[in-house]
């Protein structure tokens, strides 16, 4: 069984590039170039240097002593929350801005829902002095005012998507339209392990720095490279893909994926994509997707803006279908409780997305000598108002 993308852009039954004819030249240019660019020594050198000096990598692998005691197993947290801009997303935007430069592009577009990817994109565009346009649903612009302000402060233009439900998928449509109209000078930075091939593979490779570091960090701390489990929350699936990547073919490493159950998997208000989803096409790839009987995409819901996505990256659909990964879904309430628990046991306030992964201990029991690595994908500063309202702090 292979968990790598094949030459046609598929992970098993999932992936591919389902795009309008007019987008073909752009995607094809990227497909032909991305691996060559990523393998160039000058690219690697600049990428590694920026990850070190700008992002602050390697991120620590922290042994969470009190959390480990409580659940009677050995828990390590991979501290992506300590990256510049507060989450893993910047690993990918640094990589893609360097690819864009190598391709000779001088204009960047992106779409964003909660604004986190928009901020990570605006950040690297400022870093490189490149024009940045971020499409965002009109409703999301109202809901996520602090991130809109951040993008503007960083010099990006935020363009409202006013059609449809005025949220992420409408912003995506606008970005695609822009790319069709500006094929020569523009690169489209997609923010998760989704989109038409080669995006899921390219994003996964940029995020794979997470598992690359986990391996040597565990060797230093435990004398072995492979943990017993790696665990991550899944929105589109980029922090998870990066956390799993170097363990996919290591059969002794258990892979655990945690999705957002919102108010309950069967409540009609959830984002438990793999469990509720059926095969369909979203954002240019074939994957598991929440949809109605006649194929309309269902509006997802989660208290966490970053997990509120109706699809999941094609790699994860493949891991689900083949049984390589175990999938769990965690409700808003259980995630919030796990976020509070980590804050008070370890002095770390996690992003609510990451809190979903931390809630795994309600659903799964580990052995005392298991080494369990959890991706702490982001920090909770951006979620403070949600925590305040929820806990009446
Ligand atoms: C965006 C985000 C996620 C979800 O995105 P993935 O692509 O699934 O990783 C998870 N955690 C944080 C902190 C985020 O900002």
The answer to whether the CB of 243 is under 6 A from ligand 1 is: no
The answer to whether the CB of 89 is under 6 A from ligand 1 is: yes
Ligand 1 centre and the CA of 21: distance in Å? 30
Q: What is residue 337's predicted lDDT score, i.e. its pLDDT?
A: 98
State mean pLDDT over 258-271: 96
State mean pLDDT over 365-371: 98
Q: What is residue 341's predicted lDDT score, i.e. its pLDDT?
A: 98
Cα–Cα distance, 356 to 278 (Å, whole number): 23
Q: Residue 227 pLDDT more than 90?
A: yes
Of 306, 314, 335, best ligand 1 pocket probe by most atoms within 8 Å of the beta carbon:
306
Ligand 1 atom with the smallest distance to the CA of 207 is 9
Q: What is residue 167's predicted lDDT score, i.e. its pLDDT?
A: 87
Q: What is residue 291's predicted lDDT score, i.e. its pLDDT?
A: 94
Give the residue whose CA is nearest to atom 3 of ligand 1.
306
Ligand 1 atom with the smallest distance to the CA of 87 is 13
Q: What is residue 345's predicted lDDT score, i.e. its pLDDT?
A: 98
Q: Residue 208 pLDDT more than 90?
A: yes
The answer to whether the CB of 99 is under 6 A from ligand 1 is: no
Could you identify the residue written with the tokens 């038409």?
196
Query: Rounded to the nearest 10 degrees, how much is the dihedral formed by the CA atoms of 47, 110, 384, 258?
Result: -80
Could you identify the residue written with the tokens 């991305």?
34
Q: Residue 236 pLDDT more than 90?
A: yes
State mean pLDDT over 17-36: 97
State mean pLDDT over 197-203: 98
Cα–Cα distance, 240 to 105 (Å, whole number): 29
> Can you point out the beta strands (E) in 102-152?
107-112, 131-137
State mean pLDDT over 143-156: 95
Q: Residue 165 pLDDT more than 90?
A: no
pTM, two decimal places: 0.98
Ligand 1 centre and the CA of 243: distance in Å? 12
Cα–Cα distance, 226 to 243 (Å, whole number): 12
The crossing angle, in degrees rounded to 10, of helices 145-153 and 116-128 is: 10
Q: What is residue 255's predicted lDDT score, i.e. its pLDDT?
A: 98
Give the confidence band of 169 by pLDDT, cuts at 50, 70, 90: confident
Mean pLDDT of the chain: 97
State mean pLDDT over 278-305: 93
Tens-place pLDDT, residues 45-99: 999 999 999 999 999 999 999 999 999 999 999 999 999 999 999 999 999 999 9
Cα–Cα distance, 94 to 152 (Å, whole number): 19
Q: What is residue 143's predicted lDDT score, i.e. its pLDDT?
A: 86
Q: What is residue 5's predicted lDDT score, i.e. its pLDDT?
A: 98
Which of the two residues, 297 and 149, has the higher pLDDT score? 149
Tens-place pLDDT, residues 303-343: 998 998 889 999 999 999 999 999 999 999 999 999 999 99
State mean pLDDT over 199-212: 98
Of 93, 150, 192, 325, best ligand 1 pocket probe by most atoms within 8 Å of the beta carbon:
192
Ligand 1 centre and the CA of 69: distance in Å? 27
Give the confidence band of 380 by pLDDT, cuts at 50, 70, 90: very high
Active site residues: 89, 111, 377
Of 144, 271, 283, 377, best ligand 1 pocket probe by most atoms within 8 Å of the beta carbon:
377
Say if strands 229-233 and 371-376 run parallel, antiparallel, or are unpaired: parallel
State mean pLDDT over 338-351: 98
The answer to whether the CB of 233 is under 6 A from ligand 1 is: yes
Q: What is residue 390's predicted lDDT score, i.e. its pLDDT?
A: 98
Q: What is residue 201's predicted lDDT score, i.e. its pLDDT?
A: 98
Q: What is residue 78's predicted lDDT score, i.e. its pLDDT?
A: 99
Ligand 1 atom with the smallest distance to the CA of 239 is 9
Cβ–Cβ < 8 Å for 102, 132: no
State mean pLDDT over 135-146: 92
Cα–Cα distance, 318 to 16 (Å, whole number): 13
**154: CB partners within 8 A, 6+ apart:** 119, 122, 123, 125, 126, 132
Q: What is residue 309's predicted lDDT score, i.e. its pLDDT?
A: 87
End-to-end CA distance of the chain: 49
Give the residue whose CA is nearest to atom 10 of ligand 1.
353
Q: Residue 176 pLDDT more than 90?
A: yes
* Cross-strand pairs, 285: 282
The answer to whether the CB of 147 is under 6 A from ligand 1 is: no
Q: Residue 27 pLDDT more than 90?
A: yes
């Amino acid at each position: 069984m292979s968990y790598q993308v094949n030459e046609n852009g598929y992970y098993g039954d999932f992936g591919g590039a389902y795009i309008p004819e007019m987008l073909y030249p752009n995607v094809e240019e990227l497909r032909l170039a991305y691996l060559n660019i990523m393998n160039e020594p000058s690219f690697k050198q600049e990428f590694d240097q920026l990850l070190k000096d700008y992002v602050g990598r390697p991120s620590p692998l922290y042994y969470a002593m009190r959390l480990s005691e409580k659940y009677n197993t050995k828990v390590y947290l991979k501290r992506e929350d300590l990256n510049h801009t507060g989450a893993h997303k910047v690993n990918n935007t640094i990589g893609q801005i360097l690819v864009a430069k190598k391709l000779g592009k001088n204009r960047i577009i992106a779409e964003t829902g909660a604004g986190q990817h928009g901020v990570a994109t605006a950040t690297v565009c400022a870093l490189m002095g490149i024009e940045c346009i971020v499409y965002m649903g009109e409703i999301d612009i109202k809901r996520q005012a602090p991130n809109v302000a951040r993008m503007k402060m960083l010099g990006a233009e935020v363009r409202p998507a006013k059609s449809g439900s005025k949220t992420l998928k409408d912003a995506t449509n606008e970005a695609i339209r822009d790319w069709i109209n500006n094929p020569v000078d523009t690169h489209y930075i997609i923010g998760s392990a989704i989109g038409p091939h080669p995006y899921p593979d390219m994003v996964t490779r940029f995020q794979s720095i997470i598992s690359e570091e986990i391996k040597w960090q565990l060797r230093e701390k435990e004398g072995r490279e492979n943990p017993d489990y790696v665990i991550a929350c899944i929105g589109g699936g980029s922090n998870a893909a990066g956390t799993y990547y170097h363990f996919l073919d290591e059969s002794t490493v258990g892979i655990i994926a945690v999705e957002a159950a919102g108010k309950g998997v069967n409540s009609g208000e959830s984002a438990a994509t793999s469990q509720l989803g059926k095969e369909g096409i979203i954002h240019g790839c074939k994957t598991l997707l929440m949809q109605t009987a006649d194929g309309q995409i269902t509006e997802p819901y989660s208290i966490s803006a970053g997990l509120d996505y109706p699809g999941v990256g094609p790699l994860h659909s493949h891991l689900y279908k083949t049984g390589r990964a175990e999938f769990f879904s965690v409700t808003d309430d259980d995630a919030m409780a796990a976020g509070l628990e980590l804050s008070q046991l370890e002095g770390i306030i996690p992003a609510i997305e990451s809190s979903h992964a931390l809630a795994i201990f309600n659903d799964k029991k580990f052995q005392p000598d298991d080494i369990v690595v959890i991706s702490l994908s982001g920090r909770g500063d951006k979620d403070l108002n949600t925590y305040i309202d929820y806990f009446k702090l």
